[in-house]
Amino acid sequence: MEITKLSSLILPLTILITLTSFVLSQHNGLPTLDIVSEISTDPDDTSLFATDFGNLSKSTPGAVFYPSSPNDIATLIRFSYWSPKPFPISQRGAGHSTQGQTFVPDGVLVYMPSLGRNKSDSRITVTNGPIPYVDAGGEQLWINVLNATLKHGLMPRVFTDYLYPTVGGTLSNAGISGAAFKHGPQISNVYELDVITGTGETITCSREMEPDLFYGALGGLGQFGVITRARIALEPAQKTARRVLLFYTDVELLMKDQEKLISIENDLSGFDFVGGQVLLNKAQVSRMRSSLSDSDLEKITRLFNETDGPVYLIDAAVYFNDTTAASVDQNIKVLLKELHYISGYAFSFDMPLLNFLNRLYYLEVQLTPLGQWLVPHPWLDLFVPKSKVLEFDSRIFKGILKGNNATGALLLFPMNRAKWDDKMSAVTPDEEIFYVVSLLWTALENNAQTLTDANDQVVRICEEYSLGCKEYLPHFTNQQDWERQFGNKWGKFVSRKKKYDPKVLLSPGQQIFTPLE
């Protein structure tokens, strides 16, 4: 973009001055990297990034930066860092946050997927040795990482339920799903990172090399740097998933069974994926139409007439290939015998593993033409210590949410804390087993505020009854709440911020630190 175009900017004055002086300095033969042409303040561009998947609020960035290399990002950050008027910078992946975590109204949004736009540089490299891994650009979507690794008969060990967030986006949180009980979250399956810090320095880090930045960046909510490459552990790919859905009306039995399944570690007869859901209403049952037949759905719907409370389910899967297929029937039979689901309420079916891993994409394809995908999503994700799940269930699912008719999936499944690395920034409850509770509301009927209020009430109840919940994909607007969220990790989090982003430039949309004046 030329200076003439810059002058017509709606860009806030500080950025305008600093970028213009950057252009001038180029003319004086000082920094010569041409990144200015990659910055746009055109409302047609900036308006594309004014909201996120949550669709709950709007905030247009001052400018959008389309880097063609990690070096371009380093240049932009260095420029802001050394400028007399530093401006905030928000690295945005796929924008699948729900609470404005990538917003940067007075600064520059770095559109990470721009890094992958040069097709000759795929930025995904698979190494198939004794310890296989993939080096993936931070901007890469997980679906692309999966497709690239499958070509080598390999795949990452843990995915999120949706494969269209970026590598950098999920690693800045944790990256969880029903597979995390076995391998830990995605952040536990990373060997190495390239991170551009808030001073513009590019650092390669791992458990051995610059470990402080490595542990800080994983789960670091984008506060310490921009992840431009991650080396991710791989395992042999399987071909098929046998999905098993088991229904319960007794939450204690559900938990007992889920915990049994997640304790069967590294055992070929065990499940590879152990998830779970809470169904509050019959409409949520009908959303399972893609997995179950009409008669099965009717049968499950009848459970609501027979019980006063919610219906729960285990959503589990075993992955296998042609050579292991024969043993799967027998193994699952043995496993199911030991579980306590309602007799006659076990359903199982096979599907290509890729379809299982990519199942939310099929939902997206189904809901988009109905206008039901890009609607407001007031989501709340919590980690609840095992000892408090029954109380949570009775106060929330059987309490304030009883009879709730809203649309959306409500998840409930356990994790093994031993699979998380406490040195990383990600926060969990203290107990060895904790549960993921996700209220993934879809506001179809102008009810976003009502659902947001319900979420706030859930959070208040967690506090009032000291349920020890931690938020996942957290959203707070004041530092006291952040301090409470991080607990004994807060001091370390603050000192890392001072070390790696001393001018508080990066990812301001998280609202953890106050930008410097």
Binding site for ligand FAD (CB under 6 A): 52-53, 90-97, 101-102, 112, 138, 160-162, 165-166, 168-170, 172-177, 221-222, 226-227, 360, 473, 507, 509-510
DSSP string for 15-70: HHHHHHHHHHHHHTTS-----GGGEE--HHHHGGGS--TT-S-----SEEE--SSH
State the distance between the two ends of the chain, measured CA to CA, in whole angstroms.
28
Sign of CA dihedral 268, 273, 274, 280: negative
Q: Give the shortest CB-344-to-ligand FAD separation in angstroms.
A: 30
Q: Give the shortest CB-449-to-ligand FAD separation in angstroms.
A: 20
Q: Are 160 and 142 in contact (CB under 8 A)?
A: yes
- Specify the amino acid at residue 375: V
Q: Are 18 and 39 in contact (CB under 8 A)?
A: no
- Paired sense of beta strands 89-92 and 108-111, if any: parallel
Phi/psi for 331 (5° steps) reads -60, -40
Q: Which secondary structure element, helix H or strand E, spans residue 204, and what is its range?
A: strand 202-206
Of 90 and 249, which has the nearer Cβ to ligand FAD? Answer: 90
Of 53 and 434, which has the nearer Cβ to ligand FAD? Answer: 53
Q: Give the shortest CB-106-to-ligand FAD separation in angstroms.
A: 15
Q: Give the shortest CB-442-to-ligand FAD separation in angstroms.
A: 10
Q: Give the shortest CB-12-to-ligand FAD separation in angstroms.
A: 19
Of 177 and 331, which has the nearer Cβ to ligand FAD? Answer: 177
DSSP string for 397-436: IIIITTT---EEEEEEEEEEGGGS-TTSS----SSSEEEE
User: Whole-angstrom Cα distance, residue 14 to residue 19?
Assistant: 9
Q: Return the residue nearest ligand FAD (CB atom).
A: 168
Of 228 and 249, which has the nearer Cβ to ligand FAD? Answer: 228
Of 335 and 426, which has the nearer Cβ to ligand FAD? Answer: 426
Question: Rounded to an integer, what is the distance from CA 70 to the centroid of its chain?
Answer: 22
Of 172 and 358, which has the nearer Cβ to ligand FAD? Answer: 172
Q: Are 34 and 79 in contact (CB under 8 A)?
A: no
Of 223 and 249, which has the nearer Cβ to ligand FAD? Answer: 223
Q: Could you tell me where the DSSP H helices lie in 287-395?
A: 294-306, 325-337, 353-357, 359-367, 389-392
Of 224 and 319, which has the nearer Cβ to ligand FAD? Answer: 224
Q: Give the shortest CB-435-to-ligand FAD separation in angstroms.
A: 14
Q: Give the shortest CB-408-to-ligand FAD separation in angstroms.
A: 11
Q: Give the shortest CB-448-to-ligand FAD separation in angstroms.
A: 15
